[in-house]
Amino acid sequence: MDVEATTIVPARADQGALLADILADSFLHDPVMNWVIPNTGLYASFFRILAEKLFLPHQHSYLEKNGDGAALWLPPGASFDMPVTPGQIFMILRLVLTRGPRVIPRLLAVQDTMEKYHLRQPHYYLQSVGARQARQGRGIGSALLKQVTPLCDRDQMPAYLESSSARNVPLYERHGFEVFHWEYLGGDGPPMWFMLRQPQ
C-alpha cells in the first residue's frame, strides 16, 4: 500500500541524526554517492552535517512518521553555501586516508557541475529525498515530494533538483519535474540529471 502524504511530518531541530540515518540507508547503493564518497560508513556523517548545519534551520526538512523516509528541502532565498566545518574536514581526511587522493578531484567535479547548473532564480531546492532500503517502492518518496510541490504552486515558484540515479527520474517526472540537462560527472563518472519543475 502506498504511503499517504498525511504520514509525513516536519523534522524537529533535534532530529538531525535520524534524518542522516534514514538518508544514509536510502543512498547506500546510489551511483553518485558511491563514486564521490566510496566509503558508505561516512554517509551518516555527511547527511548529518547537511541536515544540522544547513537544512534544519530553514524548517523544510521532513520525515515519514515511522522513520522510514526523509527529505531535505531549501525554501526560496536560502543559500546552499555552507561554511567549512571541522566535521567536513575530518570526513575528507578519512576519505583520503582510506580511499586515496583520487576522491579530491571527484568531490571537486561534483561541486563544479552542481554549481554550473543550479537554478539562479528563487526556487525550492530538493537536495535529498529517500526511503530506507527495506521500505522503497511503497510511495514514501512521493509522499515526501507532496509536502512541498503544493507550496511551489501556491507561491508560483519553480523547484529544482539533481537526480543521482536513473531509476528516480520517472518518480520526479510524475510530480512535474523535467530533465533539462544531464552529463557524466568528471567525464568518466556516473551520470547526473538536472531537473526543473515549473509551478502549476
Provide the grid cell at 96. Answer: 583520503
| 125 HSE (CA, 13 A, CB side) | 22
Place of cell 564518497: 37
Per domain, the residue ranges of the chain are 5-197
Query: Looking at residue 1, what is its pLDDT?
Result: 43
Angstrom distances, CA of residue 174 to CA of 84, 142, 169, 183: 36, 9, 9, 22
Q: Where are the beta strands (DSSP E) in 37-123?
A: 61-64, 69-74
Euclidean distance between CA atoms 72 and 55, whole angstroms: 6
- Mean pLDDT of all residues in 2-29: 90
Euclidean distance between CA atoms 25 and 132, whole angstroms: 5
Architecture field, domain 5-197:
3-Layer(aba) Sandwich (3.40)
In whole numbers, what is the pLDDT of the chain averaged over residues? Answer: 90
List the beta bridge partners of residue 70: 63, 130
- The predicted model scores a pTM of 0.90
**Which one, of 193, 187, 185, 195, lies nearest residue 37 by Cα?**
185
Euclidean distance between CA atoms 152 and 91, whole angstroms: 34
Query: Looking at residue 92, what is its pLDDT?
Result: 72
**Which one, of 28, 69, 31, lies nearest residue 182 by Cα?**
31
Q: Count the Cβ atoms, other than its own, within 10 Å of residue 183.
A: 14
pLDDT digits (tens, 9 = 90+) for 66-124: 999 999 999 999 887 766 667 666 677 777 766 677 778 888 898 899 999 999 999 99
Q: Where are the beta strands (DSSP E) in 97-190?
A: 124-131, 159-163, 177-184
Provide the grid cell at 92. Answer: 575528507
What secondary structure letter does DSSP report for 4? Answer: P
